[in-house]
Amino acid sequence: MCGRYSLTLPPEAVRQWFAYRGHPNVPARYNIAPTQEVPIIRSTAAEPEMVIARWGLVPSWAKEIGTKPLINARAEDIENRPSFRAAFHERRCLVPADGFYEWQIAGAGPKIPYRICRPDRSLFAMAGIYELWREPATKHWLISFAILTTGANKLLAPIHDRMPVILDDADRVAWIAPGAAAADLKRLLRPAAEGTLTAYAISKRVNQVANDDAAIIEPASSQAGPTSAAGKQMTLF
């Protein structure tokens, strides 16, 4: 499962790392949530291209945008799901991030949020698929995407049984290459190698979508009395 993530590094650093076309001014985001519009990288005939897409895949054949966004796609059965099958074969993308969040069940108490990132806080690419959907009334085209998930590695297992597919740096180009064989693609969909990620508890402020600031990613132990912000909490799952 991946229900929230972050992309906080400067736009130029993101552009250089992913080597995509253009210089979009993407603001730092500490608490990206489903249905929001965020950058993805897809392949074109010339070079990778960054586009803005809605997190929550809308199948091309859907009559309307559903109320339960398809934010994740299970890697194990992606070819068996009509909502995801065509996108897996034809419209794969990279979802740039520098961290994601999972919630650990803590007995009868509230879930504990964790930030998972690389030890050096650098960028990584989550495997995604995207779809094109045309709104019947306005004829407006919507780009939307889902993040692929797989079983948790040893680091994540005590926190959650699923994790996003984080592509090895050497596999980024292969994932979005046009015409790639399904068998070759599936070999890329595996848990992150041990030692490539770290995890630490953070404040429950992350539970509130409106909280989108640098304090979100500070370790809980460094914050004075971490408490949930007032207001209605967005449903994650």
Q: What number of other Cβ atoms are within 10 A of residue 210's Cβ?
A: 12
Asked whether residue 128 is assigned to any structural domain, the reply reads yes
Q: What is the DSSP string of the chain?
A: ---EEEE-S-HHHHHHHHT-BS---PPPEEEE-TT-EEEEEE--SSS-EEEEEEESB--TT-SS--SS-B-EEEGGGGGG-TTTHHHHHH-EEEEEESEEEEEE--TTSPPEEEEEE-TT---EEEEEEEEEEE-TTT--EEEEEEEEEEE--TTTTTT-SEEE-EE-GGGHHHHH-TT--HHHHHTT--PPPTTS-EEEEB-GGGGSTT--SGGGGSBGGGSSS--PPSSPPPP--
Task: Say if residue 119's pLDDT is above 60.
Answer: yes
79 domain residue, yes or no:
yes
pLDDT confidence of 230, banded at 50, 70, 90?
A: very low
Q: Does position 227 have pLDDT exceeding 70, yes or no? A: no
228 assigned to some structural domain: no
Look at residue 34 and tell me if it is in a domain.
yes
Which residues form the domain of 204?
Answer: 4-222
Q: Identify the band that residue 122 occupies on the pLDDT scale cut at 50, 70 and 90.
A: very high
Domain count, the chain: 1
Summarize pLDDT for 207-224 with one digit per residue, the tens.
999 999 999 999 997 544
Tokens standing for 233? 């909490």
Overall average pLDDT of the 115-141 stretch: 94
| 191: CATH | 3.90.1680.10
pLDDT at 63 over 80: yes
Structural domain contains residue 21: yes
For 161-165, what is the mean pLDDT? 97
| Structural domain includes residue 139 | yes
pTM of the model: 0.90
| Residue positions annotated with a catalytic role | 2, 102
Whether 227 is covered by a domain: the verdict is: no
Model pLDDT, residue 101? 98
pLDDT in tens, 77-107: 999 999 999 999 999 999 999 999 999 998 8
Question: How many C-beta neighbours within 10 Å does residue 237 have?
Answer: 9
| Residue 231 included in any domain | no
Q: State residue 66's pLDDT score.
A: 83
User: pLDDT value at position 221?
Assistant: 76
